[in-house]
Chains A and B, each alone.
Chain A
Amino acid sequence: MSDIKEPLFGKTLSELTEIAGLLGLPKYTGGQLAYWLYKTDVDSFEGMTNVSKKTRAQLAEKYEIGVHPPVNVSESADGTKKYLFRAGSGKFIEAAYIPDGKRHTLCVSSQVGCKMGCLFCMTGKQGFQGHLSSGEILNQLRSIPERKEMTNVVYMGMGEPFDNLDAVMKSLEILTAEYGFAISVRKTTVSTIGIVPAMRVFLEKSKCNLAVSLHTPFDEERRRLMPIQNVYPLKDVIDTICEFDIGKYRRVSFEYIMFKGVNDSRRHVNELARVLNKVKSRINLIRFHPIPGTPLLGSDEAAIADFQQALNDKGIVTTLRASRGQDIDAACGLLSTKELVKAQSVD
C-alpha cells in the first residue's frame, strides 16, 4: 500500500469542501482549510486551531499539507532573488522574485523544462521533464519569505503555461480568489507563445492579463525562432484575441525580444503596426540575454531606443523591460535547471 498522501495545498475551495464532505465533516471545514492553506503560514494540521482535533487527525491520515520550502536561493546585486524548488524526484524548478519600489513581482514556473523549443530560450534547452500541479505552482509564492509583500505574479518562468492549462487555471483561481491569495487579476499575467485553443479557454474563463511572445511579425522568421508558429501562426493568435472584449482593465501585451539584425529593423516596425492594428495592446521590448550555443545576438541600446520610439510614433504603446537578475541567471529566458537534471541522471 502506498504511503503517499495527497496534498491539500493547491486545491480550490470547492475541492476542499468536497473533501470535507467525503470525510463526513461539515461543509464549512472546506473554508477553514482554505483559510489555513492560503491565508496563513501554518504548515501542519496541528496548527489549524479552529479545526477540531478529531478532524485534524482524520485529515492527516489521508492528506498532507503539500507546502515545501525552496532548496536554494541566489540573490542578485539588484535585489532580485532566484528560488530553486524541488518538483518531484530529480526535478527542479526556479522562480524569480523581483522587487521594484512598491512593486514586488514573482515570476513563477508552470512546468519542469519546456517542450516548445524556442531558439532563444535557456529553459527550452533542457527539454521537458514534467508538468507542475497547481500546488507546485502556488508553492513558489507560498514558500518564500517575501510572500506577503507580493503585489504582482507573472507566469513567465520555466515552461509554457498553456501546455499545462488545467493546473494553471486552477492555480489562477486560488491565486486571485478572496478565499485564496487574493492577488488582483489586474496584477496577474500569464505569458504564452500562443497555443490557441488553450489561450481561448484562458480568455473566456479568466480575467487575468495576457502576454504573448511575439518576437517578429513575419511568419517565416517567427517559425525559425519559435516552432509553435508551424502549428498556431501569429495571425490565428491575434484573430483569437480579437474575438474577445478585452475591456478597460485587462491588459494584453506582446513580448518582443530584440535580436540584432534579425527583428530590429524599420520593416519590422511597419509590419508590427499593421498586424497589431486591430488589437488593443501594448508591446513590451526585452533585451536579449545571450545563452550558450545560440546564433542570436542582442540589439544594441541605440537600436532598441530607436525601435521603441518608432513604435510609439506609430501609436503603439511600447515599453522596455528592465533587465533584472542577470548576474544570477534569473533574467528573462535564462531560467534553467538543466545542470541539475544532468547531475541527477548521473547519480
Chain B
Amino acid sequence: MKRKLNLNKVKVSRQVQIAPGVFVLSFPRPWDFTAGQVLGIGAHATDEARLYSIASGELDDEVDILYNINPDGKLTPWLARVVTGDNIWVSEPFGSFTGTGEPAWWIASGTGIAPFSAMFRTGLTAGKKLIHGGRDLNSFYFSQTFSATLNDNYIRCCSRESGEGIYDGRITRYLSELPQVPHNEKYYLCGSAEMVVEVRDILITKGVPFDNIISEIYF
C-alpha cells in the first residue's frame, strides 16, 4: 500500500530517560528542517507512523525526539526499549507550526514543550514568554536551559505538586488570573486537546483575536 509518509532507516545514537516514563531519543540529523516541525516514526518501514515534534535546534548535529510512554500505544513501549545502535524508521520533517523571530507566547503542556525546545535551541528566543504546564515537578523538561536564558519569561505551572518558583496550579488557572495579556502578539499552543481548547478559550475571553492563536494538537 502506498503511504503518504515514506519512512527511512536511521541509527539511534542515544536514548536518555529524563523523567519517569519520559525519554529523549537522538539520531544524526539527515536533513534540514524548520524548528516546530514534526516527523513520523515507525518501528518498521511499513508501519503506520506516529507523529512527534522535533525538540532539537535546526543546526544541531542530532535530531532529538521527546516522548512519553503511552502504555496502550503501539509504538512508544517499543521505542522505550531501543538502545544506541538500533534502527528506527523516520519520515522527513513536515508541518507549519513553525517559529519566527517575532515576540510571542509559547504555551505548552507535558511533552508539548518539544517544538518550543526546537525554536529555543534555534535561537528564536527574543521577545518570547514560555509557559509550561505539568502534573508534577518532574514534568518540566529542559527547565535549566530555559531558565538560564528566559529568566522571568519562563513560567512553570504545576498542578499536583508545589515547588519553589513554580506556580501552584494548572496553566489555565495561571492564565485566567493574569489581569491582562497582549492582544497583538502571537500565541503558540502545543499539547493535549484539552489544554489547547481551554487555553484558546481563555485567551479569546481576554481579548486576543483568534487570528493570533496558532495551535498544534497531539493525536
Instruction: Name A residues whose Cβ lies closer than 8 Å to a Cβ of B.
Output: 113-117, 119, 124-125, 127-128, 160, 163, 195-197, 200-201, 204, 219, 223-224, 227-231, 233, 236, 240, 293-296
- Beyond A224-B213, A293-B201, list 7 extra A-B contacts (CB 8 Å): A115-B192, A117-B215, A127-B192, A200-B4, A230-B216, A293-B204, A294-B204
Taking a contact as CB atoms under 8 Å apart, the answer to whether A223 and B192 are in contact is no
Interface residues of B in 74-111 (CB under 8 A from A): 94-97
Query: B148 within 8 Å of A by Cβ?
Result: no
Taking a contact as CB atoms under 8 Å apart, the answer to whether A116 and B204 are in contact is no
For A119, give its contact among B2, B4, B94, B200 (CB under 8 Å). Answer: B200
Taking a contact as CB atoms under 8 Å apart, the answer to whether B193 and A124 are in contact is yes
Give the interface size bracket for B toward A.
20 to 34
Taking a contact as CB atoms under 8 Å apart, the answer to whether B201 and A227 are in contact is no
Query: B217 within 8 Å of A by Cβ?
Result: yes
Query: B49 within 8 Å of A by Cβ?
Result: yes
> How far apart are A115's CB and chain B's nearest CB, in angstroms?
4
A197 with B4, Cβ < 8 A, contacts A116-B193, A127-B194 known? yes
Chain B residue numbers with a CB within 8 Å of A115 are: 192-193, 217-219
Taking a contact as CB atoms under 8 Å apart, the answer to whether A230 and B4 are in contact is no
Taking a contact as CB atoms under 8 Å apart, the answer to whether B3 and A227 are in contact is no
> How far apart are A254's CB and chain B's nearest CB, in angstroms?
19
Query: B10 within 8 Å of A by Cβ?
Result: no
Taking a contact as CB atoms under 8 Å apart, the answer to whether A233 and B96 are in contact is yes
Distance A216 CA – B5 CA, assembled complex (angstroms)? 25
Chain A residue numbers with a CB within 8 Å of B127 are: none
For B194, give its contact among A116, A128, A197, A294 (CB under 8 Å). Answer: A128
For B214, give its contact among A114, A230, A236 (CB under 8 Å). Answer: A230
Distance A227 CA – B97 CA, assembled complex (angstroms)? 9
Distance A160 CA – B1 CA, assembled complex (angstroms)? 22
Number of A-B contacts (CB under 8 A): 79
Chain B minimum-CB-distance residue to A119 = B210
Taking a contact as CB atoms under 8 Å apart, the answer to whether A224 and B210 are in contact is yes
A-B contact pairs, 30 of them (CB 8 A): A114-B193, A115-B192, A115-B193, A115-B217, A115-B219, A116-B217, A117-B217, A124-B193, A127-B192, A127-B194, A127-B197, A128-B193, A163-B219, A196-B4, A197-B4, A197-B5, A197-B49, A201-B1, A204-B1, A219-B96, A223-B96, A223-B214, A224-B210, A224-B211, A227-B217, A229-B96, A230-B215, A231-B216, A240-B4, A295-B210
A227 with B210, Cβ < 8 A, contacts A196-B4, A197-B4, A200-B3 known? no
Taking a contact as CB atoms under 8 Å apart, the answer to whether B38 and A117 are in contact is no
> How far apart are A210's CB and chain B's nearest CB, in angstroms?
16
Highest count of chain B CB atoms <10 Å: which of A114, A117, A128, A197: A117
User: B49-90, CB under 8 A of A: which get 1 and which 0?
Assistant: 101000000000000000000000000000000000000000
Interface residues of B in 150-202 (CB under 8 A from A): 192-194, 196-197, 200-201
Query: B205 within 8 Å of A by Cβ?
Result: yes
Taking a contact as CB atoms under 8 Å apart, the answer to whether B204 and A295 are in contact is yes
> How far apart are A146's CB and chain B's nearest CB, in angstroms?
32
A227 with B196, Cβ < 8 A, contacts A163-B219, A293-B201 known? yes
Taking a contact as CB atoms under 8 Å apart, the answer to whether B193 and A127 are in contact is yes
> How far apart are A49's CB and chain B's nearest CB, in angstroms?
39
Query: B209 within 8 Å of A by Cβ?
Result: yes
Distance A224 CA – B186 CA, assembled complex (angstroms)? 11
Taking a contact as CB atoms under 8 Å apart, the answer to whether A231 and B197 are in contact is no
Distance A2 CA – B204 CA, assembled complex (angstroms)? 47
> How far apart are A176's CB and chain B's nearest CB, in angstroms?
20
Highest count of chain A CB atoms <10 Å: which of B5, B96, B209: B96
> How far apart are A3's CB and chain B's nearest CB, in angstroms?
21
Distance A57 CA – B53 CA, assembled complex (angstroms)? 51
Interface residues of B in 17-65 (CB under 8 A from A): 38, 48-49, 51
> How far apart are A148's CB and chain B's nearest CB, in angstroms?
36
Distance A69 CA – B26 CA, assembled complex (angstroms)? 49
Chain A residue numbers with a CB within 8 Å of B216 are: 227, 230-231
Highest count of chain B CB atoms <10 Å: which of A124, A160, A163, A196: A124
Chain A minimum-CB-distance residue to B2 = A200
Chain B minimum-CB-distance residue to A226 = B215
Distance A293 CA – B200 CA, assembled complex (angstroms)? 10
> How far apart are B205's CB and chain A's nearest CB, in angstroms?
7
A125 with B197, Cβ < 8 A, contacts A115-B217, A116-B217, A293-B204 known? yes
Chain A minimum-CB-distance residue to B40 = A197
> How far apart are A297's CB and chain B's nearest CB, in angstroms?
12
For A197, give its contact among B3, B96, B196 (CB under 8 Å). Answer: B3
For A117, give its contact among B1, B49, B51, B193 (CB under 8 Å). Answer: B193
Chain A minimum-CB-distance residue to B194 = A127
> How far apart are B78's CB and chain A's nearest CB, in angstroms?
18
